[in-house]
Structure 1
Amino acid sequence: METIMTLAPFWINVKVVFMDKAQNIIYTYRHLLILDNETDAEKDWIIRKEPAAKGLNTLQLNIISYIKKNDYCMSSAIAANLDILRGTLSKQLTFLRKKGFIEVKYDQADKRVKYHTLTMSGINIAKAHLALVKLKDEKIQACINEFSLEEITTIEKFMTQLLKVESSTNYD
């Protein structure tokens, strides 16, 4: 009985610390989501490099960069690689085409098949976005290097689970 009473405050403290850390993770995650908006520091950086990017959202920048890396790609490849619905992609491609960042080219043998390519303005935006992605990847890699392999494995597992939560459409 005495042992249990001695250990009880320890377990209570562990639970409180765990809950505080869990709440901190949730808060930090929500804050990260809030940071990705129309006026965030990343978009400001891209706009300083390429003013035509003003008003583009993260998805649109990723679509443009995907097309830069995979010139003359089909919508199905873009949707599959960026893990977005084809309807969503169709709306974004229409917007980007109207803005003059992408062009549609039709297959000579089968006019039903269309490919997406970038205009010069789209290429410039993609270059700025890809430069930012490279800089961010380097900073993230530097952060990752501060962890042990065991910690990285745990982080990877958590990030995979977080992606499943974000990809889920079932909130019941």
Structure 2
Amino acid sequence: MPERTDRDYLAFVHARVAELRRTAYLLCGDPHQADDFVQETLTKLYARWPRIGRVENVDAYVHTMLVRVFLDDRRRGWWKVRLLSGSPEPPPADQNPEDGPVVRAALAKLPPRQQAVLVLRYLCDKPVREVADLLRCSEGTVKSQTAHGLTRLRALLGVPALAPAVSREKR
């Protein structure tokens, strides 16, 4: 690859790596695994970098790659061996309150797509359309996965279900 392209790649990575790491951490809840996801994503991006000029929104493209890496990892997770039951180091000090261990543990019990939808929608504050593009599904699927994920998350956290809205009858 030409040297200019490598510089462009490095500039892109340096500008976006913190955001990618945060998203990866929110998806998986493990800082080391988040680093692995980001590394795998950036490695794949580097291999595709010469053709990246044809991509209209590089940020969305890279976030899609990151979410796909996370989902692929969850699909093949049954054969993985975990050597440690937990993180040997304390979690990073820059965590947000919504990233707390109770919420993280409940999120980890959700199916991967529901987990991804909830993290992208509520912790990364992405709109339905963008989440649908990242997950390569319809907006309706994002909405239904959100509803199912929130219902399951409420049950796991012991939060009572929301009462359905009462419609006013015309008199």
The answer, yes or no, to whether TM exceeds 0.5 is no
Larger strand fraction of residues = 1
TM-score by length of 1: 0.27
